[in-house]
Amino acid sequence: MPTPDKATAADIYAHILEFCDLTERGAYGHWSQTSYKELFFEIFHQAYINGRCAPTGYTKHKQAEKRKKSAKVDGYVVNGERIKTFLGKNWSRSKMQKHKSMIEDLTAWWDAWTYAWSRYPNPMPRPYRRKPKPE
């Protein structure tokens, strides 16, 4: 995964797909285990601090729309419904049916975390960067 300040929505979707594929093959155990939820939360954390979750993602989308008219919201915002749509496009129908409960839980977790973090002031400070001293 790219550094938090460089991750795009496409990077985040690709990372989600990678985790779902590995989980589907049993690499991490059952998806409802705490360890898997923590791994998925790491993806959410990267998206959130990069401003890819609502409402920051929608603000970035509106700014991009003003600059260029063809800006798609999928490139700026990652949410539960878009994750489900993304997996639907990149997974077979049989995988979607087989892992329906996993997908529903993952998208519900994502939306719940977004809601909670957007309501709590500064839930996770961004990484500290020291300003260079003027010469």
How is residue 52 written in tokens? 């890819």
Q: Where are the domains of the chain?
A: 9-119
Question: Among 103, 127, 108, 102, which residue's Cα sits nearest to residue 48?
Answer: 127
What is the value of pTM for the model shown? 0.71
Q: What does the alpha-carbon distance between residue 64 and residue 3 come to, in Å, rounded to a whole number?
A: 22
Q: For 16-32, what is the mean pLDDT?
A: 81
Residue that the structure tokens 């260029």 belong to: 68
Residue 51, classed as helix, strand or coil, is coil
Question: pLDDT tens for residues 62-105?
Answer: 556 566 655 554 566 788 888 888 888 888 888 888 888 888 98
